[in-house]
Chains A and B, each alone.
Chain A
């Protein structure tokens, strides 16, 4: 859950990027890191293996500016996507304020996407959250590749509840900030509603 500090006038929120292995979660964070002004970002931390597969998580703190005199900070996390890292994924979902599901648009990754969404729902329940109730957006990544599934089909399989969705190519940055902006917006409105 978000942390509101009246003493230092800060609001901190946690966003988790979820999705199957190699779908582009870390690439999303790397693009945000590259394109953010130095004064607005902290150090990006990647706990990865030697082959650059995420082992525990990536972490990127972003200070977006002020709303009504309160500094607004977002902490972006990714989970390790590979199936056998499930214990780590559960830990990272603790205290989450909003989730971005990054889907791999390639045909052969469709099953992995479906499995990962189901895994997300189950792991959230374990932490006491309901995917249908928390701020949640979906990103269809890798739209630049040749062997991709249509957005209609991705929507049918992965987005039955019709949450905000974005087409993206995380390596070039297309759709990356649109996705981040959408989830940040949902979280802030959720905070507003909660009070």
Chain B
């Protein structure tokens, strides 16, 4: 089924960044990204400016989707952890709370064991933040209390995007 829309608020965004920055330090990683399963980059930390983060997000989501398809074919629900080993850099990719993807890029200064250990702990913290986030959006939707910026959008606003 289609995932509900992901809405990120300031408060949770800050909490998430605190968790991944801690993970970056503790796992001795180079870069960490959080990506929506649909391929949209949520946030990142570390040496992010060295990478094309948008493409990375889209390909990671494609990767997860493809391996998810493989998993279903052999009767698994999903493969929750992927590991790609390179000559210098490695990618540890895992699914958090069933809907977001945590990507950890690390080199020889760290190790797979350390990354796995730290990712596990951080995933629990992230899962609880995303749980709260989903609850918050649902509550806001129910109460009709939405500060949605597009409520007042006009034809002209959209036309201007293309001018």
Asked whether A2 lies within 8 Å of B5 as measured between CB atoms, the reply is yes
Residues of A within 8 A of B58 (CB): 45, 59, 61, 75
Report the bound CA distance from A70 to B157 in whole Å.
Answer: 12
A42 adjacent to B62 (CB under 8 Å): no
Q: Are B6 and A3 in contact (CB under 8 A)?
A: yes
- Chain A residues lying within 8 Å of B158, measured Cβ to Cβ, are 67, 184-185, 188-189
- B86-94, B104-112, B146-154: which one contacts chain A? B146-154
Q: Flag if B150 contacts A195 (CB, 8 Å).
A: yes
- Asked if residues A6 and B2 are in contact (CB atoms below 8 Å), the reply is no
In the complex the two chains form, is A64's CB within 8 Å of B162's CB?
Answer: yes
How many B residues face the partner with a CB closer than 8 A? Answer: 42
Is there an interface contact between B37 and A192, defined as CB atoms closer than 8 Å? Answer: no
With A12-B40, A59-B55, A91-B69 as contacts: A3 and B161 at CB distance below 8 Å: no
User: Using Cβ atoms and an 8 Å threshold, which residues of chain A touch B49?
Assistant: none
A67 with B55: CB separation less than 8 A? no
Q: How far is the CA of A194 from the CA of B144 in the complex (A)?
A: 11
Q: Is the CB of B37 within 8 A of A94?
A: yes
Given A188-B158, A191-B150, A192-B150: A4 and B2 within 8 A (CB)?
no
On chain A, the residues within 8 Å of B36 by CB distance are 3, 95
Cβ-based interface call for A145 (8 A): no
**Smallest Cβ-Cβ distance to A66: which chain B residue:** B161
For A191, give the chain B residue with the smallest CB separation. B150
- Please state if B55 and A7 are interface contacts (CB–CB under 8 Å): no
A181 at the interface (CB under 8 A from B): yes
Q: Is the CB of A7 within 8 A of B13?
A: yes
**A65 and B2 within 8 A (CB):** no
Contact of A57 among B7, B62, B155, B160 (CB under 8 A): B62
Quick one: given A43-B55, A61-B54, A95-B38, are A6 and B66 in contact (CB under 8 Å)? Answer: no
- What secondary structure prevails in chain A residues at the interface with B? mixed
A163 at the interface (CB under 8 A from B): no
> Which residue, of A3, A8, A56, A127, has the highest number of chain B Cβ atoms within 10 A?
A3
* A65 x B55 contact (CB < 8 A): no
Assembled-state Cα–Cα distance A188/B160 (Å) = 13
Given contacts A8-B13, A59-B55, contact A91 B40 (CB under 8 A): no
Please name 17 further chain A to chain B contacts, defined as beta carbons within 8 Å, in addition to the given A3-B8, A42-B52, A128-B2, sorted by A numbering.
A1-B2, A3-B38, A3-B40, A4-B7, A6-B8, A56-B62, A56-B66, A61-B54, A64-B162, A68-B150, A72-B161, A88-B66, A90-B69, A91-B66, A95-B3, A181-B162, A191-B148
